[in-house]
Amino acid sequence: MQLSAFRYTLMLVVQLSLLVVDLLFNTFIHRYLANTGISILLFVLQDIGQLVAIAVLLITFFQTNIFQAGFIVLLFNEFRSTIIAGVGYFLLTIFVQVWTLTNRFKGQVYFFWPDGLYIFFVLHKFTSCLHYYLYKRTALTISDSKFYTDEWINHRINQESGHQSPKY
């Protein structure tokens, strides 16, 4: 299945829009921590956006000839870092949000955080940068026509079978 220019452009715009929305959430969400109701709403919207971004990326993977031919391992090996970073970023986001809201419900003021939360907050921000980079790189790479033709699959299979030692 060849990915048309319009379809690719639409998928790329959706993926990059989801990244921009998540970046805006990460940038401005802490301005609204004083209001618990708004914080919960923004946290839920951010989590939904991250899940949709991961789902759109997986849908893009599912449309490739590599996936349809059953060579999921080749696709996973090619984009393993993006998948791991995306899941790790989502889990860190949930962790920081839950800890922030737990402190808020305990009656602590929103600008006083324990040291552990600061550490996870900084780790979360670092992971978000890594996730944005890898996600954008993957979104641009997956558009390469080699993922939608059989020639690349044949080349990779021949390449991997050539590296294996003969069995006697």
Give the integer Cα–Cα distance in Å for 31 and 17: 22
**Per-residue pLDDT for 50 more than 90?**
yes
Query: Kindly report the CA angle at 50 between 31 and 25, in degrees rounded to 5?
Result: 15
- Positive or negative, the Cα torsion across 66, 67, 72, 78? positive
Q: What are phi and psi of 141, to 5 degrees?
A: -70, -40
Q: What is the average pLDDT value for the chain, to the nearest integer?
A: 85
Give the integer Cα–Cα distance in Å for 46 and 151: 39
**Per-residue pLDDT at 168:** 43
- Within 10 A of 121 (CB to CB), how many other CB atoms are there? 16
* pLDDT category of residue 36 using cuts at 50, 70 and 90: confident
**Per-residue pLDDT for 56 more than 90?**
yes
Of 88-92, 105-109, 113-117, the range with the highest mean pLDDT is: 88-92
